[in-house]
């Protein structure tokens, strides 16, 4: 076959590498070391050894960590601005114009022996043979010559497409058209570039499987990395692992079975084991320092430590917000659609309030709302056209709240069903005290209702379950007042978060409607509270 000089190499290194936490909390996955050398550097050196000098690296997560590679190896960095919201198809899209006779590599592969060359004859994909069943993407059909005919997700006794690939100029030309077509599709937001190969195999020029079994390695997590480079049992060079080892008086190797916890808008958390005992490690998001006072959160946990109402913390750093707590095994999130769970949730928060804790802070729903407004205004983030009119109505409600003179104490502040865990014995635990404030306890009832997006009848049921009886007219008024004020507060919070890159769908619209609609209900049905 005709040989073609390899034009360049493209290395995809934009991903977050969530399954490799906590290592990737500090270091991009491709820069993790195997036998003392970053995996990405090893690949670069192998390419340079074969005369491949045009090396393009697509970066995203912790992009600054890769800058030194420009000086050390003369590589080119290209930033993928969509790295956090899309999969690696978007990374390849960023460099589509560079696709010619190109090697395509993943930064987090470790290649023992150099498989690159100055010249290639045909397109190929590295294949690692798996004996028995696997959930990897496997080549389920190929020709006698090794050309890929079909790819399936999962299989048995088959080659998994894993590691580098080579795109011939002919393959690149056709693939680029498909890349642009798929990039424009909404449903392709989570696609890997391999989806195109899988879905369009018959229309693409042939790509052959290249057997690299035993030579190309992929490490999904710390456990897999330890099996290959056993130094990770004794020293991970990771401050998170080191902190866990210090707090729990164990070695790095004692920390095992690490898995990402997906829940939560504000933090990165993972579960781990010491022996057979599970824990949760929470690392606050970088943008949370302006929104949360960790010393106040720690104060709340400390004051409730003996109550057995919240999750049990074994370590809490009031400066950083890093928290290690015991994992509640076999627990489940409360189901807001279940009357039984709703009743238990309301009874549990009533018990929470009955502890009669008052925080030594001036944080209230008023101060927090105005703080969120200030933060959002700094970013020009508030996009409600009638915001000034809405704010005047909320200020009116704040004045009425003040006149009511309700005794205030510790409130969860973010009491939603996602922050209530129900244990196998039927007890409930209240978790995540990040947004604790001093307020009228009915605030927490309203928060649960608006987060669950309840209709009015079910909002009323929340208060009945909380009180254990029918509410008085004033209590009913207070419930609707906090529905309006809480919804306004969280709408502004979400506007601020969205300006920083988060996305909340229709959450802001839902919350601002609660704020407006329940202000109107209060004004129409409870006029006596608006009279001087």
Has residue 126 got a pLDDT over 80? Answer: yes
Position of tokens 């979400």? 494
Q: Give the model confidence (pLDDT) of 327-381 as tens digits.
A: 999 999 999 999 999 999 999 999 999 999 999 998 999 999 999 999 999 999 9
Has residue 501 got a pLDDT over 90? Answer: no
Q: Calculate the average pLDDT of the chain.
A: 94
pLDDT at 84: 85
Percent of the chain with pLDDT over 70: 98
Question: What angle do the packed helices 365-378 and 387-404 form, to 10 degrees?
Answer: 160
Q: Could you tell me which residues come within 8 angstroms of residue 461 by beta carbon, excluding any fewer than 6 positions away?
A: 339, 342
pLDDT at 504: 85
pLDDT at 500: 81
Question: d(Cα 95, Cα 420) in Å, to the nearest integer?
Answer: 45
Has residue 226 got a pLDDT over 90? Answer: yes
Q: Give the model confidence (pLDDT) of 439-469 as tens digits.
A: 999 999 999 999 999 999 999 999 999 999 9
Has residue 206 got a pLDDT over 70? Answer: yes
Band of residue 298 on the pLDDT scale cut at 50, 70, 90: very high
Instruction: For residue 451, give both structure tokens.
Output: 């987060």
Q: Where are the chain's structural domains?
A: 4-218, 238-327, 332-530
Question: d(Cα 226, Cα 19) in Å, to the nearest integer?
Answer: 14
Instruction: For residue 127, give both structure tokens.
Output: 């294949």
Question: d(Cα 392, Cα 109) in Å, to the nearest integer?
Answer: 57
Has residue 67 got a pLDDT over 70? Answer: yes
Evaluate whether 275 touches 290 at the Cβ level (below 8 Å). Answer: no
Q: What is the CATH number of domain 4-218?
A: 3.90.550.10
Q: In what order do the strands lie in the sheet with 8-13?
A: 76-79, 55-59, 8-13, 102-106, 148-167, 123-142, 207-211
pLDDT at 531: 78
DSSP strands (E only) in 317-394: 323-326, 332-333
pLDDT at 46: 98
Q: Give the model confidence (pLDDT) of 98-109 as tens digits.
A: 999 999 999 999
Percent of the chain with pLDDT over 90: 91
Has residue 113 got a pLDDT over 70? Answer: yes
Question: d(Cα 294, Cα 301) in Å, to the nearest integer?
Answer: 11
- Please state whether beta strands 37-38 and 102-106 pair in parallel, antiparallel, or not at all (unpaired): unpaired
pLDDT at 264: 54
Burial class (CB within 10 angstroms; exposed 0-12, middle 13-18, buried 19+) of 415: buried
Expressed in percent and rounded to 5, the helix, strand and coil fractions of the chain are 40, 25, 35
pLDDT at 44: 98
What average pLDDT does the segment 90-113 reach?
A: 97
Q: Give the model confidence (pLDDT) of 151-163 as tens digits.
A: 999 999 999 999 9
Instruction: For residue 237, give both structure tokens.
Output: 């060079």
DSSP-derived 3-state class of residue 283: strand
Has residue 286 got a pLDDT over 70? Answer: no
Has residue 263 got a pLDDT over 60? Answer: no
DSSP-derived 3-state class of residue 98: helix
Band of residue 85 on the pLDDT scale cut at 50, 70, 90: confident
DSSP structure class, residue 471:
P
Pick the CATH number of 238-327 from 3.30.70.1520, 3.40.140.10, 3.90.1530.10, 3.30.200.20: 3.30.200.20
Q: Give the model confidence (pLDDT) of 478-490 as tens digits.
A: 999 999 999 999 9
State the CATH architecture for 332-530.
Alpha-Beta Complex (3.90)
Q: Which of 194, 169, 19, 18 is nearest to 92 (CA)?
A: 194
pLDDT at 265: 54
Evaluate whether 228 touches 217 at the Cβ level (below 8 Å). Answer: yes
Band of residue 142 on the pLDDT scale cut at 50, 70, 90: very high
Query: How close are the terminal C-alpha atoms of the chain, in Å?
Result: 92
């Amino acid at each position: 076959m005709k040989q073609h000089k390899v034009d360049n190499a493209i290395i995809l290194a934009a991903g977050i590498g969530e399954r490799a936490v906590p290592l990737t909390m500090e270091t991009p996955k491709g820069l993790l070391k195997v036998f003392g050398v970053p995996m990405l550097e090893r690949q670069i050196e192998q390419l340079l050894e074969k005369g491949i000098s045009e090396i393009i690296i697509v970066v995203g997560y912790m992009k600054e960590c890769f800058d030194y590679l420009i000086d050390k190896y003369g590589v080119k960095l290209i930033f993928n601005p969509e790295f956090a919201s899309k999969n690696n198809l978007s990374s390849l899209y960023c460099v589509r114009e560079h696709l010619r006779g190109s090697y395509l590599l993943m930064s987090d592969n470790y290649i023992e022996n150099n498989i690159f060359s100055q010249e290639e004859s045909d397109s190929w994909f590295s294949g690692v043979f798996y004996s028995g069943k696997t959930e990897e993407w496997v080549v389920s059909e190929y020709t006698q010559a090794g050309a890929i005919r079909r790819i399936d997700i999962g299989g048995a006794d088959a080659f998994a497409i894993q590691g580098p690939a080579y795109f011939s100029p002919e393959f690149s030309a056709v693939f680029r058209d498909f890349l642009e077509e798929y990039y424009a599709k909404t449903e392709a937001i989570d696609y890997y570039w391999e989806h195109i190969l899988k879905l369009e195999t018959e229309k693409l020029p042939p790509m052959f499987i290249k057997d690299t079994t035993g030579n190309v390695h992929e490490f999904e997590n710390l456990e897999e990395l330890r099996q290959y480079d056993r130094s990770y049992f004794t020293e991970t060079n990771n401050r998170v692992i080191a902190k866990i080892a210090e707090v729990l008086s164990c070695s790095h190797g004692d920390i095992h079975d690490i898995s990402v916890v997906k829940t939560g808008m504000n933090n990165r958390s993972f579960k781990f084991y010491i022996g057979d005992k599970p824990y949760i490690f929470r690392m606050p998001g970088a943008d949370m320092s302006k929104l949360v006072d960790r010393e106040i959160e720690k104060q709340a946990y400390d004051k409730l430590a003996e109550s057995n109402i919240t999750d049990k913390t074994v370590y809490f750093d009031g400066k950083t917000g890093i928290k290690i707590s015991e994992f509640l095994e076999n627990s489940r999130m409360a189901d807001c659609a279940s009357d039984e769970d709703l009743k238990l949730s309301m009874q549990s928060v009533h018990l929470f309030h009955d502890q009669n804790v008052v925080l030594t802070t001036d944080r209230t729903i008023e101060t927090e709302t105005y703080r969120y407004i200030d933060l959002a205004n700094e970013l020009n983030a508030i996009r409600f056209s009638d915001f000034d009119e809405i704010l005047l109505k909320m200020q009116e409600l704040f004045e009425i709240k003040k006149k009511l003179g309700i005794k205030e104490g510790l409130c969860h502040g973010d009491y939603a069903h996602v922050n209530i865990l129900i244990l196998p014995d039927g007890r409930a635990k209240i978790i995540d005290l990040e947004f604790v404030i001093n307020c009228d306890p009915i605030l927490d009832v309203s928060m649960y209702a608006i987060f669950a997006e309840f209709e009015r009848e079910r909002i009323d049921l929340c208060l009945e379950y909380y009180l254990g009886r029918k509410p008085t007219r004033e209590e009913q008024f207070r419930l609707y007042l906090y529905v309006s004020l809480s919804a306004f507060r969280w709408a502004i919070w979400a506007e601020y978060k969205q300006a920083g890159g988060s996305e909340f769908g229709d959450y802001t619209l839902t919350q601002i409607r609660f704020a407006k609609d329940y202000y109107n209900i209060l004004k129409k049905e409870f006029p006596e509270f608006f009279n001087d």
